[in-house]
Structure 1
Amino acid sequence: MGDSRPVYQRIADDLRQQIDEGLLAVGTRIPSRSELKRTYAASDQTVDRAVRVLKAAGYAEGQFGRGVFVTDRSPIGSLLRTGETVDSPFAARISTGGSSTPLLWEATSTTAAAPPRVAERLGISTGDRVMCTQYEYLAGRRPLQLATSWEPLALTEGTDVVFPERGPYARRGVRERFAAIGVRVTGATELVGSRPATSLESETLGCSPGQCVTVIERTHHTADGRAVETSDIVIRADRWRLEYRIPFPG
């Protein structure tokens, strides 16, 4: 039986296999359009589509005026998810080479109206005022992780913790900040998913537009289930693994 895959998919799969097997090493220029056309008896459009698939999967990137080259897909490290690191995006740590290294971060906070999906997660009404904080996590000045956090201003406005990145409780975890205003945070829920990177995310994280990113949707809550903070953490799916440490009762 003949190969039923579309030609563009066969080209992309063949190139992926060569990269996975090391026949095309990191930094190597993949065959040119004319070479691929000749090898597969394909049109310009078919070859271009195959290369777009390869780029979107994180296997290759274009360099202006030079061609398309194989990218490094080896994991940078593991994003640890434990009771300590889940407390806050800036408490998260990355594990590389057997040691844990904290990420430096920069943040900007602005007041905003809660969009429907955020309002649902926080248990408030759409349009209610929230503090929206945008984070970039850096290693060697290179952005490795993005996060957006939302907190209801009905809880924090007029307090010392209204701005997560400044004030007497800056750079503290969610539990410690909210404890300072008499709110006891007892747990967090995380949903892990994936989606294509937006243009801004791909530009910031150094990946191709549409490339797959992992999104951790996390919500902190009190003992009675009241949500006090929710956030989206975004990392490159091809470079980061999620490491969950799950203790079992004795």
Structure 2
Amino acid sequence: MRHRGERGRRTVKRDTRPQSEKIAAATRAQIMAGLLPPGSKLPSIPRLAAEWEVSTATVQNAWQILRTEGYLESETGKGVFVRERSQFAISSVAYFDPVEREVRYEILDVGEVEAPADIAAALGEERAVLRHRLMLHGDERVELSWSYYPATFAVGTPLGERKRIRGGAPRVLDDLGYPERRFVDRVSVRPPTTEEAELLEIPAGVHVIRQFRTIYSNDEKVVEVTIVVLPGHLYEVSYSVNF
């Protein structure tokens, strides 16, 4: 094997983010790793400013970022503390349990549409029935979803009606002769669109997790494609594989 010498080493780009974002990122990582458990009191702002060699305003800006994301809380006269919070886990096997997670959906749009190119390619047809929804956990907006179904069999079914479906889309698909057999997820991360940022009330600088799910029925027929967008500061992705 050929080893690269000094001249072959890759140049690492410097972190050019504002100092407040760097401090917030370092603190966030410590919280997520359990090094700063809930209830932990953070060092004083002057002390951290000295350690990072920045102004106290820079540290205050970092704390504001983390307050907005829900990681920190301030107690007047006492200091800044790590909040008790946990991230939602997106399982590759089982999706959300509406009962356990106490979630509810708001229907934003339903109708027959021209499918976007990536959706049309997955469905194998250009027309689709769309169900666009917003999910809430308590008062917190936690998910946007766009579910597309082939128009050839979905038009005129409960999938195209602007109301909740008893038993959900899987029941309708099963009644139509297209039981769900498996799904494939593609997960990526990107900045939110304006619509996503506003509807999900995403703090500035936070990216979203984009989940592109393709659901297959018998004979590998694609019967649903769903795009799910989740605020990155609220979620983590969990995978389990048995060997």
CA distance in 2, matches of 1:71, 1:203: 26
Task: Give 1:196 deviation, angstroms.
Answer: 1.0
Write the letter of the residue equivalent to 1:194.
V
Give the corresponding residue for 1:89: none
Give the corresponding residue for 1:156: 154
Task: Give 1:71 deviation, angstroms.
Answer: 9.3
CA distance in 2, matches of 1:71, 1:206: 21
CA distance in 2, matches of 1:9, 1:164: 46
State the identity as a percent. Answer: 18
Number of residue pairs matched by the alignment: 209
Asked whether 1:115 is paired with 2:113, we answer: no
CA distance in 2, matches of 1:224, 1:164: 30
Q: 1:78 aligns with which of 89, 95, 110?
A: 89
Aligned residue for 2:213, secondary structure, equals: strand
Q: 2:182 aligns with which of 165, 177, 187?
A: 187
Aligned residue for 1:206, secondary structure, equals: coil
Gaps of 5+ in 2: 1-12, 70-79
Write the letter of the residue equivalent to 1:223.
N
Task: Give 1:61 deviation, angstroms.
Answer: 4.2
Asked whether 1:239 is paired with 2:241, we answer: no
Report 1:31-42 matches (<5 A): 40=54
Relative to 1, partners in 2 of residues 1:136 and 1:109: Cα closer, same or farther, differing over 3 Å?
same
User: What is the TM-score of this pair, normalised by structure 1?
Assistant: 0.64
User: What is the TM-score of this pair, normalised by structure 2?
Assistant: 0.66
Which region of structure 1 is more displaced relative to structure 2, 105-114 or 4-13? 4-13
Give the corresponding residue for 2:143: 145
CA distance in 1, matches of 2:102, 2:130: 23
Aligned residue for 1:185, secondary structure, equals: coil
Give the corresponding residue for 1:16: 25
Give the superposed CA RMSD: 4.1
Relative to 1, partners in 2 of residues 1:74 and 1:225: Cα closer, same or farther, differing over 3 Å?
same
Q: Which has the higher helix share?
A: 2
**2:149–2:225 CA contact under 8 A, matched in 1:** yes
Write the letter of the residue equivalent to 2:104.
L
Write the letter of the residue equivalent to 1:76.
Q
CA distance in 1, matches of 2:22, 2:158: 55
**1:60–1:70 CA contact under 8 A, matched in 2:** no
CA distance in 1, matches of 2:15, 2:158: 59
**1:60–1:71 CA contact under 8 A, matched in 2:** no
Give the corresponding residue for 1:223: 218
CA distance in 2, matches of 1:73, 1:131: 41
Gaps of 5+ in 1: 42-46, 63-68, 87-91
Task: Give 1:110 deviation, angstroms.
Answer: 2.1
**2:112–2:129 CA contact under 8 A, matched in 1:** yes
